[in-house]
Structure 1
Amino acid sequence: MTTTLTSAALRDIADLRQLYFDVYGHGYPVALGSDPAVMRRLIADPHTYWLTARTGSGELAGSAVVQTDPGTRVGKLVGLAVHPAHRQGGLAGRLTGSVCSAAFDGGGVDSVYATVRMVTRGPQNVVLRNGFRPVGLMPNAAEVEGCESLALFVRYADGVLTRRETVPEVPEALLPLLRACEESTGVGFGDPAAARPGPNAPRSTTRSGADFELVDAPGFVRRRFLELFPDPASRFFPLHTPNAVLLPDDGRFEAYAQLDRAAGSCALVAVHPHLGAVTDLLEPLMDAVARAGADYVEALLPLADSTGLAAFLAQGFVPGAVYPAMRRSADRFHDYVVLSRTSRQIDFRNVAAGGLLQPYLTAYLTAWTSTYLPLPEVVS
């Protein structure tokens, strides 16, 4: 059946909400499929590209969105949905290709990423056919139909990957992830040396979150965040705006987070006065976040920041994805690493990982094992 792709309009909101319900039921954890206020804002946003597909009779058959951050020149593919009655005709791929092309043609993005469910290979194949490259995975990252793991894919503008800065050394725990990325994408990292481990603090064994206060006031948190980080160069977590702040009782730092209770996840966006201030209290911070409704915490660090990476690795965070050429600086690009911790048991038995994702599963299991299982010589 022939469908026509057009930009979403305010008059489409009711039909869009019905589409997302028909596709996902009550389990869709993204506000653009259910919250009319968010949908109105995104449709009016000049930095958001939202396409709909309608049949000749006017029936809404599909939707896809790319949100972009003009400050970081990074975009995100979200909200891809095709009505069950209109699948098998390639509409998902057509929507994906068209909305991504619109974002790149606008000239405001260097890369677009997508987090893709791993319960079926269909969505993975859609992004792969549209030029996305798999760069890792995030176990237990979302609450959709139960706790699910997501795969991270990235599509780049022409010439971006040829202008990356090389990193001479990285923590040894990252080497399997970098090798997996080279195997799956062909993107090289040279031959970085294993950084010599520094004097990391021992893992905290404190499990109580009682010493943390969580301020869940999005307007206040956003204003306070911009006061403390007025320079955009001092904050980098594209398309994530903090809506909560976590404070220890002694006030030694303020940890700004985007808390998504619907998805059961939390992104640690920034820490004031510096990232290192939080590392020895990550155990109680994880408890505080879990009490707020999220059992997955994610951090984003530069691949070149061996000290910061080592601190998070020492506190139980596991590297799951690497984002080559994520951040632009003048005419060069810098790689970033996605690390995460989850308080739920990780279960990969139901994932449908295509061949290009298999190296990341192996790399993650290697990193998780070295983090959470005792060395044989210690056991003996």
Structure 2
Amino acid sequence: MTAAISRAGCADIADLRQLYYAVYGPHYPTALGTDPAEMTRLIGDPHTLWLVARCATTGVLVGSAAIHSEPGSRIGRLEGLAVHPDHRAGGLAGALTEALCAQMLDQGRLDSVYATVRTVIAGPQRVVSRNGFRPMGILPNAVDLDSRESLALYARYSQGVLDRRIPVPEVPAPLAPLLRNVERSLGVSYAGTRATAPVPAPPRPAAARLEMIEAPAFVRRRFRERFPDSAQWFYPLHTPNVLLMPDDGGFEVYAYLNRTGRYCALVAAHPEPAAAAAWLEPLTQTLTRAGAGYVEALVPLDHHRAISAFLHQGFIPSALYPAMRPEGDGFHDYVVMSRTAEQIDFRGVVVDAPLQPYLDSYLSAWASTYLPTLEVAP
């Protein structure tokens, strides 16, 4: 099908909402595609490029996609990729994706763009793969649409970014299979990175009550006061909306909780992550009771102790993002540590061949974490 691609405008919002409903039904978990006020803001945002595709003969809006970034950030997220079910055979998804990347990556505006891709069908994986994105992990039970769905993490880079990664001397041994998968997928090397035993788990805290504050404006203000310099924290495109702390106020953990999609991202801890390391289990339980079926944290790959703490509390290394955050002339790698409180059902998952090793390594890591080692008595 011949289509005309152009920037989205406020006059397109009604048609866009109809498009996302046709593609995702009533359960699309993000404001892009459902909330007219937020859609208006994104269309006018200088850090967002939103493109739409219209049928050249009828003028009907049949496709949409956007790359969203933040002030001062050089990482973007491909989101809202949707093509009307009646027009999926014409290559529109690929055309929209390539048009976005040509402006945001090839022209040097961003260092990398990532996408979280549905795994109920292989089509979305193949679309991003054909447009230069490479798989970097799987996020089991990451979002609640019609049912609990797993997502795949993909990324595409500007020229030369991967060559400037800052070396990581060692990682906890359970991360080794994930590193090998990324080596094959991206053509990078972790030959100089040793796999060593995780450090011992921090002592469990004495009985104390955690408080969770859900006041988004207050949480944002306090977060900016605690972290005026973004170098002290890093979780792109996630603004915290909840705050967790113990009775004595010994630490503060900031998180983004999406009740529609029933997922949560741990964004930052004050005064430092080590202060909350021993509290990961009660923190996760509190967020689960608040409606998060999936909790994830983004941890620098060179923070051996922090990764070890997450491993001890049942978090699985499910994805790796090389060269994610710039520092000086180099880039730091990050690992996604995830934990789900719900039963994982992979029977409906469809993975393309390049993604299969990530699913295999996740299953192995999950089994070694949650299944007991049985001993046969003589």
Q: Provide the TM-score with structure 1 as the length reference.
A: 0.95
Matches within 5 A, 1:190-229: 190-201=191-202, 211-229=209-227
TM superposition shift of 1:295: 1.4
Equivalent residue, structure 1, for 2:182: 181
Partner residue, 1:289: 287
**Which amino acid in the other structure matches residue 23 of structure 1?**
V
- Whole-angstrom distance in 2 between the partners of 1:91 and 1:78: 15
CA distance in 2, matches of 1:379, 1:88: 59
1:155-304 matches, within 5 Å, as 155-201=156-202, 211-304=209-302
Partner of 2:349: 351
Does the 8 Å CA contact 2:108/2:158 hold for their aligned counterparts? no
Contact map agreement 2:200 2:308 (CA 8 A) in 1 = no
How far apart in 2 are the matches of 1:92 and 1:114? Answer: 13
How far the C-alpha of 1:54 sits from its partner, in A, is 0.9
Q: Which residue of 1 aligns with 2:332?
A: 334
Q: After the TM superposition, which of the residue ranges 356-365 and 129-138 deviates more from structure 2?
A: 356-365
In the aligned structure 2, how far is the partner of 1:230 from the partner of 1:197?
32
Secondary structure of the structure 2 residue equivalent to 1:188: coil
Q: Equivalents in 1 of 2:205, 2:340: separation in Å?
A: 16
**Contact between 1:203 and 1:314, CA under 8 Å: does it hold in 2?**
no
Matched residues in 2 for 1:372 and 1:266: separation? 21
Instruction: Specify the SS of the correspondent of 1:190.
Output: coil
Q: Which residue of structure 1 lines up, in the alignment, with residue 7 of structure 2?
A: 7
What secondary structure sits across from 2:339 in the alignment? strand
Structure 1 unmatched runs, 5+ = none
C-alpha displacement of 1:198:
2.4
Q: Determine the C-alpha separation between the residues in 1 that align with 2:198 and 2:340.
A: 24
Aligned to 1:321: 319
Structure 1 residues 168 and 252: alpha-carbon distance in aligned structure 2, compared to 1, 3 A threshold: same
The alignment of Structure 1 onto Structure 2 pairs a total of residues equal to: 377
Distance between the aligned counterparts of 2:284 and 2:184, measured in 1?
Answer: 33
In the TM superposition, what whole-angstrom CA distance separates every residue of 1:134-165 from its partner, at most 9, and x where no partner exists?
00011110001211110000000001111111
1:145 aligns with 2:120: no
For the aligned residues, what is the CA RMSD? 1.9
Tell me the CA shift for residue 186 of structure 1: 2.3
Deviates more, 1:353-362 or 1:195-204: 195-204
Amino acid at match of 2:118: R
1:52 matched residue in structure 2:
52
Match for residue 20 of structure 1? 20
Cα offset for 1:72?
Answer: 2.9
Q: CA deviation at 1:31?
A: 0.8
Structure 2 distance, partners of 1:197, 1:343, is: 23
Q: What is aligned with 1:118?
A: 119
Which range moves more in the overlay, 285-294 or 333-342? 285-294
C-alpha separation between the residues in 2 aligned to 1:379 and 1:306? 36
Determine whether 1:66 maps to 2:86. no
| 2:245/2:252 contact within 8 Å kept | yes
Deviation readout 1:207-235 (Å, 9 max, x if unpaired): xxx92222111111111000000111101
TM-score by length of 2: 0.95
Residue 371 of structure 1 and its aligned partner are, at CA, apart by 1.6
After TM superposition, list the pairs within 5 Å mapping 1:72-111 onto structure 2.
72-105=73-106, 107-111=108-112
CA distance in 1 between counterparts of 2:106 and 2:200 reads 48
- Structure 1 stretches of 4+ moved >3 Å: 202-206, 375-380
Aligned partner letter, 2:296: E
Kindly state the Cα deviation for residue 373 of structure 1 after the two structures are TM-superposed: 2.2
Do the aligned partners of 1:17 and 1:33 also contact (CA within 8 Å) in 2?
yes
Counterparts of 1:228 and 1:379, CA distance in 2 = 55
Unaligned runs of 5+ in 2: none
Counterparts of 1:329 and 1:70, CA distance in 2:
16
Aligned counterpart, 2:132:
131
Q: Take 2:202 and 2:316, find their aligned partners in 1: how far apart are those partners? A: 17
The answer to whether the Cα contact below 8 Å between 1:184 and 1:359 also exists between their aligned partners in 2 is: no
For residues 49 and 23 of structure 1, what CA distance do their matches in structure 2 show?
A: 21
Structure 2 vs 1, CA of residues 332 and 295 (structure 1 numbering), >3 Å: closer, same or farther? same
Paired residue type of 1:201: P
Amino acid at match of 2:273: L
Counterpart secondary structure, 1:31: coil
Q: Aligned AA for 1:12?
A: D
Aligned partners of 1:278 and 1:261: how far apart in 2?
23
Report the AA paired with residue 29 of structure 1. P
C-alpha deviation, 1:105, in angstroms: 4.5
- Larger mean CA deviation between 214-223 and 117-126 belongs to 214-223
Alignment partners' CA distance in 2, 1:377 and 1:170: 29
C-alpha contact 1:319 1:364 (8 A) present in aligned 2:
yes
Secondary structure in 1 matching 2:354: coil
Q: 1:145 to 1:129 in 2, by over 3 A?
A: same
> 2:33 aligns to what?
33
